[in-house]
A and B are shown apart, each in its own frame.
Chain A
């Protein structure tokens, strides 16, 4: 096991695309770090540079005390799980799992024992003689994991390993991988575009956008204290409501409605309110928003109310998969998570009290958080 460090690492492709821009990221020994971001954010490229499958344009990558920037993949002592599983089609499960050990010239009996032990840990002991094509998606996933853990490498690299599984299996494997990490304690860098995976699995989450690192912190801290509009909008499901408002001495105005948020900032702001920071209020009053219901979604444990926003709301371009546009206005987007007992039909106005301690303010120019 070892720590991992990216120091000022950049990747510029031949066509001039800057996929990763001055990445600085330290992963302590034994930590499970998630690299999350929308497609094209450079997270996979960063992982591939760590694996040695992509050359580094500038900067330095270390595994443990060893600088590996120019070291061949085979000499980095890492194991990688691919999105496509990348199982060798002409080899049995046992041969797939033992391939790396065989290359290391580990004695045959040892290989067999280590493969059997990893296979029983993963619950694939009875599949060892099968070929990959005779396995289900979930089984292939486990074999790919087995191929990684059988080597006891310095670090695990995982490139969206769950994205080819169906929803149910994905939830199951998510917990499984997290538990596996707890048992093995191997340093892991896990790439995903799914913020739910990021929030549930990692010790720390690094959010990337356009090749740059936006914020690194624990899942809880990212959720509670996003550093900018992008992280605020990306982390959390449903996403944080981001509205255009105006800050003054009296507080923040959202259209005609006022929230008594204290801030030294004056002028236009972006106001971030999580769907969970709203609760039904009996009647209009201070810090209560009166909003018209567009749609009510019953989830069993909660109800998601889709409401007409009091002022134009902001979506970051990445949230809409239109990376060219930075911020897009949409007047109707506002979501509240309320208890299932709260019923509201479309068209009616509801009163929702805002928890002011959980309101985030962002500078519309820099998109960075405004300290309160």
Chain B
């Protein structure tokens, strides 16, 4: 068998795997354009799609609120995690201090503990705060932002540390000779040079928070519920709103897709090329 044939075969296999992986999304999109009746009968009519589900989904469930909550909580948490991680990651990458190595190891170590173990302590903590202090974290945006920030900061630190290690020290030293103090060099030179890392870390944290169900289900009741809860609400005991469920799925995937395509240039290649001899 010629090498060309093998290559063609491998190409075909790649496309097949890709098609298989994308087929649920196709199914999601196609189903969102049908009526509940068509879906329950399995009688898809692809030639006459209807956007009915997309208009009704906002009325039957307050999906706008969930979407807004998700956007606020996920953006804030991802911003906080990225900001904290940038500072901590830089310190771990550049400074030698007592306990620095242990701290680096500890940051990675946190990832070995299943996150769900923290659910009960966090829940009890929130309840205790609510009963004994004026600090309101249960079912608030702030509470969820704090939880997600705490969750994603360690792994974000781990990410950022490696991005900073890859940035040549010469850059910030040049900035310091040019007239910056260390913090100025960090803000004006290192952070922009680490922009792909910052974007990647932000997107990573954002996407994880966007999908998270367990904690938001336990720690919110009404005010701060996010999209995963909202989607669940389309399925009730006495109602079948499958088309709207699918439409909500499509709508909730859109920000993720937009985030990915808008930042993929940054995610894939760094801009540090050319800073030093390459």
A contacts, CB < 8 Å to B: 14, 51-53, 72-74, 76, 78-80, 82-90, 99-100, 103-104, 131-135, 137, 140, 147, 151, 157, 164
Contacts A74-B179, A89-B193, A90-B193; A80 near B273 (Cβ below 8 A): no
Complex interface residues of chain B between 146 and 192 (CB less than 8 A to chain A): 168, 170-171, 173-181, 184, 189, 192
State the Cβ distance, B266 to closest chain A Cβ, in Å: 12
State the Cβ distance, B28 to closest chain A Cβ, in Å: 39
Residue in chain A with minimal CB distance to B270: A89
B220-250 to A contact mask, C-beta < 8 Å, 1/0: 0000000000000000000000000000000
Picked from B168, B180, B273, the residue with its CB within 8 Å of the CB of A133 is: B273
CB-CB under 8 A from B174, the residues of chain A are 80, 82, 86, 88, 147
- Is the beta-carbon distance between B180 and A74 smaller than 8 angstroms? yes
Bound form: Cα–Cα A52–B195 in Å: 28
Bound form: Cα–Cα A51–B168 in Å: 17
- Is the beta-carbon distance between B173 and A86 smaller than 8 angstroms? yes
- Is the beta-carbon distance between A133 and B274 smaller than 8 angstroms? yes
- Is the beta-carbon distance between A137 and B170 smaller than 8 angstroms? no
- Is the beta-carbon distance between B178 and A85 smaller than 8 angstroms? no
Bound form: Cα–Cα A85–B184 in Å: 20
- Is the beta-carbon distance between A82 and B173 smaller than 8 angstroms? yes
Whether, in the assembled complex, B271 has its beta carbon less than 8 Å from a beta carbon of chain A, the answer is yes
- Is the beta-carbon distance between A84 and B276 smaller than 8 angstroms? yes
- Is the beta-carbon distance between B177 and A51 smaller than 8 angstroms? yes
CB-CB under 8 A from B180, the residues of chain A are 74, 103
Whether, in the assembled complex, B272 has its beta carbon less than 8 Å from a beta carbon of chain A, the answer is yes
Bound form: Cα–Cα A140–B275 in Å: 9
Instruction: Given contacts A52-B177, A53-B173, A99-B179, list 8 more A-B pairs with CB under 8 A.
Output: A74-B176, A74-B179, A76-B177, A84-B277, A85-B275, A89-B271, A103-B180, A137-B277
Picked from A53, A132, A134, the residue with its CB within 8 Å of the CB of B177 is: A53
Number of interface residues of B (CB under 8 A): 26
Residue in chain B with minimal CB distance to A74: B179
B contacts, CB < 8 Å to A: 96, 168, 170-171, 173-181, 184, 189, 192-193, 195, 271-278
Picked from B181, B193, B275, the residue with its CB within 8 Å of the CB of A72 is: B181
Residue in chain B with minimal CB distance to A151: B178
CB-CB under 8 A from B178, the residues of chain A are 74, 79, 99-100, 103, 147, 151
The 6 closest A-B pairs by CB, nearest first: A133-B274, A84-B276, A103-B179, A86-B170, A89-B275, A86-B174
Bound form: Cα–Cα A76–B177 in Å: 8
CB-CB under 8 A from A79, the residues of chain B are 177-178
Contacts A82-B170, A84-B170, A88-B189; A53 near B273 (Cβ below 8 A): no
- Is the beta-carbon distance between B171 and A86 smaller than 8 angstroms? yes
State the Cβ distance, B184 to closest chain A Cβ, in Å: 8
CB-CB under 8 A from B272, the residues of chain A are 89
State the Cβ distance, A135 to closest chain B Cβ, in Å: 7
State the Cβ distance, A148 to closest chain B Cβ, in Å: 9
Contacts A72-B181, A73-B176, A74-B176; A89 near B274 (Cβ below 8 A): yes
Picked from B96, B195, B277, the residue with its CB within 8 Å of the CB of A85 is: B277
Question: What are 27 A-B contacts defined by CB distance under 8 Å?
Answer: A51-B177, A72-B176, A74-B176, A74-B178, A74-B181, A80-B174, A83-B170, A84-B276, A86-B173, A86-B174, A86-B275, A87-B274, A88-B171, A88-B175, A89-B171, A89-B271, A90-B192, A90-B271, A99-B179, A100-B179, A103-B178, A131-B274, A133-B275, A133-B278, A134-B274, A135-B274, A157-B177
